[in-house]
Structure 1
Amino acid sequence: MPIGKSLPSVRPVSTGRAGGVQPTPPPEPRVRGAARRAAGGRRAELLAPFVLVAPAVLILVLLRLWPLLLGVNFSFTGDGERDGAAVGFDNYVDLFHDPLFRGALRNVGLLVLLLPVAVAIPGIIATFIYLRVPGHRFYRSVYFFPAVLSPVIVGAIFNLLLSFDGPVNSVLGAVGIGPVDWLGDPDVAMFAVVGVHIWATFGMALVVFLAGFATLDGTLLDAARVDGASLGQVIRHVIIPSLTRTIQFVFVTTMIGMLTSMFGLLYVMTTGGPEGSTYLPEYYIWIQQGQMNRPALASAASTVLFVIMLVVGLLQLKLLRRSGKVD
């Protein structure tokens, strides 16, 4: 080897006691701990959604699904002398032979037909509030006020207003229209109760619509105004397509409210009359359970009401999808 040229450095191989090559030492504890923490963090990230949803699912199962299943099972048992005995579909046969229950189902059909009106009213009012018509802040407070009133209070107020010799008929008489028996005429009473319910509850739908308007892109409205679009065209081509999810939510919640939250008004204003013309399934259920002591028949009526709500809700979503209002 030429002089002056250094030898390459060689790292000495450590040997054990027997003179063999010593194995590579394991990773340091700090590295292993970091790997375990990273794996644990990934597992926690995957499990976090399930942990957060678990309480709500547990509540739904224990307080909704389980009682529903018990009610369906109970609807196939008997009342009175056959208390607890399996009776098959006898309760359902009795239901559909009861003229009061058939009338309640006809009223459900009426509610479904009036549902678009119940949704359109708060939607139109929310549109005018969003467009900042003069006095919109005052109107927002006034329109929401009925939503905080108890149905019992609302029913008592409108009992006075709609009585045969009440203020409403006095106003009608002043303009040359004869008095209307709002709560005593079987052909009018249900419309009167539904109208009062819409007045008392549309404040919540109004708030939902206003929340939906908060997500609306204002540049779309500006572009429509620049193009000379009328108010109707703006509502049809800009506002409705932009609020599809909000409209879907309001449709479903309003339907549920009309089918399950009118008991207070019915009890105070008409008690199901006149001639059973204002019966709804929920009122029929209360009569059978609380006054007639027929809990199995009431369970059958509850099951029918659940099926009706499920079918009507699915049909609404299907119609909204076909009309292009829901993705």
Structure 2
Amino acid sequence: MALGESPPAPGAAGAGRGGGAEPARRARSVPAPPRFGTGRNADRLAPYVLVAPAVLVLVLLRLVPLFLGVNFSFTGDGDRDGAAVGFDNYTELLRDPVFRTALKNVGLLVLLLPVAVAIPGLLATFIYLRVPGHRLFRSVYFFPAVLSPVIIGAIFNLLLAFDGPLNSALDGAGVGPVDWLGDPGIAMFTVVGVHVWATFGMALVVFLAGFATLDGTLLDAARVDGASLAQVIRHVIVPGLSRTIQFVFVTTMIGMLTSMFGLLYVMTGGGPEGSTYLPEYYIWIQQGRMNRPALASAASTVLFLIMLVVGLAQIALLRRTGRED
């Protein structure tokens, strides 16, 4: 034994001769019992624990009220309060000319949706390309998003009045005044335009976040190849932001169907001649003024189905377009 080496432990020689090797290997091969909160069990449970609060909130505050509302839509109002009436409420909705006008306006919103998405998309593109004054434009464009719809509606009521400053400017330019809020053929377009102006700041922020994930080398390569701005947008930016565009399309459509009540209430009150009714305004009238909650629940169910169908159709169409590109 060399100087400084420790003497062998008792039984080591026996282990070397084979007497204790097998028990030692067996002891090493036995796995330790799993402890709660560590190891593979924790890795498997972690995603469910993190998602559980959001799922709980979604179920309690969204799915349960939705189920109760759909169930309530098959009951009656007034003398038949609480009684099962089948599809009578839905039949009455289809016979109501005001609700049919609201559905037509939904179709108009779907047609105007590409414009409502293209405006913040183009502005975000210009800001991303750092046009002169892009920092100021970023702040100015987002400013309307922080204003209350009631305030915005009151401001535009003054601007768009028949004797207001906009018509005065048109009259000075030799163009006759326009009844922006009193003409049934124009009023809905006016309210939609104000809504787009008031809300496109949020979509602009989403687009700018999407640009942060865009590969800048592709833009540099397009510039070197001499691509025009339209070609860069079509062949580089749009394919690179396909997921962002899908998200903005769906959220913008939902906002147009469910967030225009304040503007409608302040600017037109559903008029003139019911031409600016949307399902959400119709729901408020039936619930708040006519005291017909079951009919309002039926209209809410129809609105939910419209949003679901339109949203799924938009996603499918955008995905197909992205694959073709």
Segments of 5+ residues of structure 2 without an aligned counterpart are 1-12
CA contact under 8 A between 1:248 and 1:326: conserved in structure 2? no
Among the aligned pairs, what percent are the same residue?
A: 79
Q: Over residues 293-322 of structure 1, what are the superposed CA-to-partner deviations in whole Å (9 max), with x where a residue is unaligned? A: 000000000000000000001111111122
- RMSD of equivalent CA atoms: 2.1
Aligned to 1:80: 78
Which residue type is aligned with residue 273 of structure 1? G
Residues 100, 276 of structure 1: 8 Å contact kept: yes
CA–CA distance in structure 1, aligned partners of residues 132 and 314 of structure 2: 35
Q: 1:260 matched to which residue of 2?
A: 258
Distance apart, 1:10 and its partner CA: 6.0
Structure 1 pair 66/98, CA: closer, same or farther in 2 (3 Å)?
Answer: same
Q: For residues 194 and 66 of structure 2, what CA distance do their matches in structure 1 show?
A: 30
Name the counterpart of 1:248. Answer: 246
Offset at residue 277 of structure 1 (A): 0.3
Secondary structure of the structure 1 residue equivalent to 2:219: helix
* 1:137 corresponds to: 135
TM-score of the pair, normalised by structure 1: 0.90
Deviations 1:25-73 (A, max 9, x none): 8848xx865x524994210110100010000000000000000000000
The residue identity in structure 2 corresponding to 1:80 is G
In structure 1, C-alpha distance between the alignment counterparts of 2:101 and 2:318, rounded to whole Å: 28
Following superposition, the deviation at residue 149 of structure 1 comes to 0.2
User: Match for residue 166 of structure 1?
Assistant: 164
Question: Structure 1: where are the runs of 5+ without partners?
Answer: 1-8, 15-20
Assess if the C-alpha contact under 8 Å between 2:36 and 2:42 holds in 1: no
Quick one: which of 258, 262, 272 aligns to 1:274? 272
Tell me what 2:102 maps to: 104
Please report how far the alpha carbon of residue 236 of structure 1 lies from its aligned counterpart in structure 2 after TM superposition.
0.5
Instruction: Quote how far apart the aligned CAs of 1:240 are.
Output: 0.5
Between the aligned partners of 2:265 and 2:87, the Cα distance in structure 1 is 30
TM-score of the pair, normalised by structure 2: 0.91
Is 1:176 aligned with 2:148?
A: no
Matches of 1:311 and 1:298 in 2, distance apart?
20
Aligned residues: 309
In 2, Cα distance between equivalents of 1:210 and 1:126: 6
1:9-48 matched pairs, under 5 angstroms: 24=23, 27=27, 33=32, 35-37=33-35, 40-48=38-46
* CA distance, structure 1, for counterparts of residue 108 and residue 222 of structure 2: 37
Q: Find the counterpart in structure 1 of residue 154 from structure 2.
A: 156
Say which one has the larger Rg. 1
Larger deviation: 149-158 or 317-326?
317-326
